[in-house]
Amino acid sequence: MHARSSSCCTNNSASLSEPVARHSGTGLPSKFVSPVEIRRVDRPGHAGENRTHGDTAGNRVAMVRSIAVTSLQASGNMVMRSVLSLSSALAILVSTGPPALADDWPQWLGPNRDTVWRETGILESFPENGPPLRWTRPLGGGYSGPAVAGGRVFVMDRQAEKIDLAKARILHDGPPPRNANFLRKLLPGSERIVCLDEKTGKLIWEHKWVRAYTTVAIYAIGPRATPTVDGDRVYALGAEGDLKCLAVSDGKILWERDFQKDYGLKIPEWGTAAHPLVDGDRLICVVGGKGTTCVAFDKRTGKELWRALSSSQPGYCPPVIHTIAGRRQLLIWHGDALESLDPQTGKVFWSVPVKPTFGMSVGQPVVEGRRVFVMSFNRVSACIEVSRDGGQAKLAWRGNARRGVGGVFNTAVIQDGHVYACGQNGRFVCARLDDGHQVWNTFAPATGRRPASWANVFAIRQGNRFFLANDLGELIIARLSPAGYEEVSRAKVISPTHKVGNRLLVWSHPAFANRNIYLRNDREIRCYSLAKPGR
Residues 207-231, mean pLDDT to the nearest whole number: 96
Reported as a single tens digit per residue, the pLDDT across 312-327 is: 999 999 999 999 999 9
Q: Which secondary structure element, helix H or strand E, spans residue 43, and what is its range?
A: none
CA–CA–CA angle 491, 16, 451 (5° rounding): 60
Length of the chain (residues): 535
Pairing outcome for strands 304-308 and 294-298: antiparallel
Q: Is the pLDDT of residue 90 over 80?
A: no
* Amino acid found at 225: A
Query: What is the rounded radius of gyration, in angstroms, for the C-alpha atoms of the chain?
Result: 24
Q: Is the pLDDT of residue 284 over 80?
A: yes
CB 413 within 8 A of CB 367: no
CB 443 within 8 A of CB 449: yes
d(C-alpha 527, C-alpha 151), whole Å? 13
d(C-alpha 531, C-alpha 516), whole Å? 7
CB 302 within 8 A of CB 245: yes
Q: Is the pLDDT of residue 371 over 80?
A: yes
d(C-alpha 51, C-alpha 34), whole Å? 37
Q: Is the pLDDT of residue 35 over 80?
A: no
The pTM for the full model equals 0.83
DSSP state of 325: T
Q: Which secondary structure element, helix H or strand E, spans residue 195, and what is its range?
A: strand 189-197
d(C-alpha 10, C-alpha 178), whole Å? 42
